[in-house]
Structure 1
Amino acid sequence: MDYNNTHILVLGAGESGIGASHVVAQLGAHVVLNDYKKIELPSDVQAMLETVGVTVITGHQDESLLDNVDRIIISPGISLDIPIVKAAKERGIEVVSEVELAYDISKSPILGVTGTNGKTTTTTLLTEVMKATGKPIFVGGNIGDSLSEMAYKMPIGGYLIAELSSYQLESIKEFHPLGAIVLNISPDHLARHKTMENYVLAKENIFKSQTPTDYLVLNADDAVVVDMANRARSQVLYISQKHAVENGAYYENGHLYVVRNGNKELIIEVVQIHIPGAHNIENILSVIALTYALGVSAELIRNAIFTFTGVEHRLERVKTINGVTYYNDSKATNVDSVVKALQAFPKPVILLMGGHDKMTPVEEFMILVKEKAKELILMGEAAERFEDAARAAGIKDIHRAQSMKEAVRLGRDLAQPGDIVLLSPACSSFDWYSCFEERGEDFKKEVLALEEGSEP
């Protein structure tokens, strides 16, 4: 879309909305940035938007905002079911996500990563591998800066790498990545999408506009994901930890191989990988499959994986204190993430769990918790529901904490040398914190306070 002299309404005054407003105004559009909540933007952000002519309206949201609007750019946190969006659709006004704007303006191909879990680790590793090529690499979306800001800065001859959530993908139009990865699908965000079918359809949008010259990496070990091949027009590359594949990458007997037309090449051995867990093998295989297809050499891929130590707040080793090792997995905001975290450790852990309850089923999940956790410490809004499910599953060693400080100190008191204390919440953070990063930082702060010998 040519944005010059158009009228654009941007909904949501968070990082995504601010970035979109700033970019589209520089492209010559008349822009209104709106949020129904009353928001006081930082003075430097306000000045930046004023400089490019963005009108900021917060604290109310009425249909008059739609007058003369050519397109609405919606931030990922805003539901498509709100009244102003419904009214816009009735008027025939196009509503697209910020990801669509990024696609409109990027001068280089986009590589997109989605899935219920593992997106950030995969996106970060993909970025590191592609940087090794020496080409310009920018990254954004559900990680780092707004994708549209990165796309605006993107030069010719590189790659724009995007971590994409279902929220960002549900309202795209022509978004077309050269390479797309779908890692896994499990129930999540159902309060927003209403049904699992809607959630899967949102994820599938990542490849709906791809052509036969594009690449799509699908997890052959995930029944929902592998079925997507039936609706893909792009070149499908499979990954698997269970069997060999014809094109893509797979794991076998401690080795990770890349395959093109049945011809395999060893990339790396598991003992050379520095991030734990079978789920991370899945993430690494997906990066191997896509980057090799894009022409990156096996040597460059191998070196990037060997030096990769993971991402913050995702099975992040914090410290070993008095023989007890503390791990920060604050990014585990759903049940499936916690399953993968628990399976990453060979022995039972002391598990800190809870937060803002997404109301996903936990009954079967608690059977695994019973097997893998020697003590369960619950906190936040979800604590009561989680405790009921845990007791129904036969878990007896259950404790409650009213703060992160209390949870960490309780973990210390329950632990023996050699134990692992793991924060892996299975919930979003919005009961006590503004984001999972803030929660993870609080956990790390309290762990380090133990080392300093602070009094309980």
Structure 2
Amino acid sequence: MDYSGSHVLVLGAGLSGIGVAHTLAKLGATVTLNDYKKIDFDPIESQRLAESHIEVITGQQDFVLLDTATRVVVSPGISLEIPIIQEAKKRNIPVVGEVEIAYEVSKAPILGVTGTNGKTTTTSLLAEVLKEAKWDVYVGGNIGYSLSEQALAVPETGVLVAELSSYQLESIDKFRTKGAILLNVTPDHLLRHKTMERYQEAKENIFRNQELGDWTVLNFDSPIVADMAKRVKGHVLGISQERPVTDGAYFENNTCYAVMQGKAVPIITTKDIHIPGSHNIENILSVIALTYALGVDVEDIHQAIAKFHGVAHRLERIRTLHGVTYYNDSKATNTDSTIKALESFTSPLVLIAGGKDKMTDLEEMMELVKTNVKELILIGEAAQRFAEAAVKVGVPHIHRCESMEEAVSLSARIAEDGDVVLLSPACASFDWYARFEDRGDHFRRLVERL
């Protein structure tokens, strides 16, 4: 696509917005980068923006910005319902997200991963398997690297692996994945999407534009996800921990199998897997299914999984002190993710939960807390509602803390030899922290100082 002569308004001056602004400027577009909040860029980034001749306007967001715009690119954190986007649509100015630009500029095929939970682990493992097989792999998207910048850099002989959130997928147009993984869909981000139907629709965009020769991995153990098979245009690969499948991957007798046209091949057993929990078996199966279908050698798949020890902030083991092991699961920003974390341990648990409340139902999580957690420590804006829900189902030992320092200190005092202290908030981080990574890093530093 030729961007020369185009005038693009980029909304949102975070990592995604800055990345796509630079990408478009390199391709000859006239770019305005706008954020309604006042942004103080660091000196290096300010110099980069100036050298790219990107006009930067922050602290205001007026409709006059649309007067010269031929296209609007919206960052994933920005709702499509805000006034300036609605005005752009009234003026028939196309509105897309960064992933659409990434698709337009990428010379290589795109493999996408989405789902309510497990995206980062699965994306990271998928990249490692392909690297083990000597593929030229570039990774971007919701995992912390601008997808459009990675798309511009990846050569035609490479592959672009993308972690994709519902926020990123809701604004696609022609975006297409050669291979897609859809892990699960459970209630999350409903303040943004309003209904589960709209949330699911955004997730399904990952395979919406596929063609007959493309691949989509679906979790057959989830009725919602399994039902999507009838809407997939390409080849469907199923994964299951409950039964064998004809094409895809399944788990049986502590072994993960790849299968194509009914012929199963063992890939790896649990003794060689280093990431705990059935949810991680789900993640592993999805990677096995897609990479085996793409022709990756069985030994390369096995070796990469056997070397993989997880990602930061997702059931990340920090240390063992006085017989107590501390885990950072700050990436658990919804109840379903925390449930999966709780199900991963057999040791007595001291759980630290709470943060920016997403107002999802708490009954299922609190029922599990009642049986699996010996001490519940609540923090952040959600603490009151979480406490009420815990009391309602009969959770016996509930504590409230006003800071992460207080929570970690209390956990160290009440935990006993053999216990696990688990930070798994079931909430966003935005009450106390800018990102879940900041929350997890703070927790880690505090634990390391004990």
TM range (shorter): over 0.9
Q: Is the aligned partner of 1:267 residue 2:267? A: yes
Question: For residue 453 of structure 1, what is the aligned residue in structure 2?
Answer: none
| Post-superposition offset of 1:2 | 2.2
Aligned residue pair count: 450
Question: For residue 217 of structure 2, what is the aligned residue in structure 1?
Answer: 217
Question: For residue 427 of structure 1, what is the aligned residue in structure 2?
Answer: 427
Q: Deviations along 1:361-389, whole A, 9 cap, x unmatched?
A: 11232111111111100000000000000
Report matched runs for 1:411-422 at 5 Å. 411-422=411-422
In 2: Cα distance, 1:243 partner to 1:38 partner = 53
Which amino acid is the alignment partner of residue 367 of structure 1? Answer: E
TM-score (norm 1): 0.98
Greater alpha carbon shift after TM alignment, 1-10 vs 245-254: 1-10
In 2: Cα distance, 1:364 partner to 1:445 partner = 31
Question: For residue 16 of structure 1, what is the aligned residue in structure 2?
Answer: 16
User: 3-state SS of the aligned residue for 2:326?
Assistant: strand
Question: For residue 94 of structure 1, what is the aligned residue in structure 2?
Answer: 94
In 2: Cα distance, 1:149 partner to 1:133 partner = 24
Question: For residue 176 of structure 2, what is the aligned residue in structure 1?
Answer: 176
Q: Deviations along 1:392-443, whole A, 9 cap, x unmatched?
A: 0101200011111111111111111000000000001111111111111111
In 2: Cα distance, 1:209 partner to 1:2 partner = 22
User: 3-state SS of the aligned residue for 2:210?
Assistant: coil
Question: For residue 150 of structure 1, what is the aligned residue in structure 2?
Answer: 150
In 1: Cα distance, 2:71 partner to 2:351 partner = 47
Contact 1:317 1:325 in 2 (8 A): yes
| Post-superposition offset of 1:135 | 2.3
Question: For residue 27 of structure 1, what is the aligned residue in structure 2?
Answer: 27
Contact 2:182 2:225 in 1 (8 A): yes
Question: For residue 110 of structure 1, what is the aligned residue in structure 2?
Answer: 110
In 1: Cα distance, 2:323 partner to 2:228 partner = 46
| Post-superposition offset of 1:70 | 1.3
User: 3-state SS of the aligned residue for 1:391?
Assistant: helix
Deviating above 6 A after TM superposition, structure 1's stretches of 4 or more consecutive aligned residues are none
User: 3-state SS of the aligned residue for 2:201?
Assistant: helix
| Post-superposition offset of 1:283 | 0.1
Q: Deviations along 1:301-325, whole A, 9 cap, x unmatched?
A: 0000000000000000000000000
Question: For residue 40 of structure 1, what is the aligned residue in structure 2?
Answer: 40
Question: For residue 340 of structure 1, what is the aligned residue in structure 2?
Answer: 340
In 1: Cα distance, 2:184 partner to 2:87 partner = 34
Report matched runs for 1:309-324 at 5 Å. 309-324=309-324
In 2: Cα distance, 1:435 partner to 1:98 partner = 20
Question: For residue 454 of structure 1, what is the aligned residue in structure 2?
Answer: none
Instruction: Output the aligned Cα RMSD.
Output: 0.7
Contact 2:129 2:300 in 1 (8 A): yes
User: 3-state SS of the aligned residue for 1:201?
Assistant: helix
Question: For residue 389 of structure 1, what is the aligned residue in structure 2?
Answer: 389
Gaps of 5+ in 1: 451-456
Q: Is the aligned partner of 1:228 residue 2:239? A: no
Q: How much identity, in percent, do the aligned residues show?
A: 60
| Post-superposition offset of 1:133 | 2.0
Gaps of 5+ in 2: none
TM-score (norm 2): 0.99
Question: For residue 185 of structure 1, what is the aligned residue in structure 2?
Answer: 185
Q: Deviations along 1:144-175, whole A, 9 cap, x unmatched?
A: 21000111111111100000000000000000
In 2: Cα distance, 1:228 partner to 1:135 partner = 30
User: 3-state SS of the aligned residue for 1:411?
Assistant: helix
Question: For residue 441 of structure 2, what is the aligned residue in structure 1?
Answer: 441
Contact 1:348 1:371 in 2 (8 A): no
| Post-superposition offset of 1:69 | 1.3
In 2: Cα distance, 1:158 partner to 1:257 partner = 27
Q: Deviations along 1:12-66, whole A, 9 cap, x unmatched?
A: 0001000000010110101100001111111211111111211001111111111
In 1: Cα distance, 2:380 partner to 2:389 partner = 15
Q: Deviations along 1:264-312, whole A, 9 cap, x unmatched?
A: 0000001110010000000000000000111100000000000000000
Which amino acid is the alignment partner of residue 282 of structure 1? Answer: E
In 2: Cα distance, 1:396 partner to 1:147 partner = 46
Question: For residue 303 of structure 1, what is the aligned residue in structure 2?
Answer: 303
Which amino acid is the alignment partner of residue 199 of structure 1? Answer: Y
In 1: Cα distance, 2:134 partner to 2:412 partner = 46
Question: For residue 409 of structure 1, what is the aligned residue in structure 2?
Answer: 409
| Post-superposition offset of 1:190 | 0.2
User: 3-state SS of the aligned residue for 2:124?
Assistant: helix
User: 3-state SS of the aligned residue for 1:96?
Assistant: strand
Q: Deviations along 1:338-366, whole A, 9 cap, x unmatched?
A: 00000001233110000011111112321
Which amino acid is the alignment partner of residue 63 of structure 2? Answer: E
Greater alpha carbon shift after TM alignment, 357-366 vs 115-124: 357-366
User: 3-state SS of the aligned residue for 1:360?
Assistant: coil
User: 3-state SS of the aligned residue for 2:56?
Assistant: strand
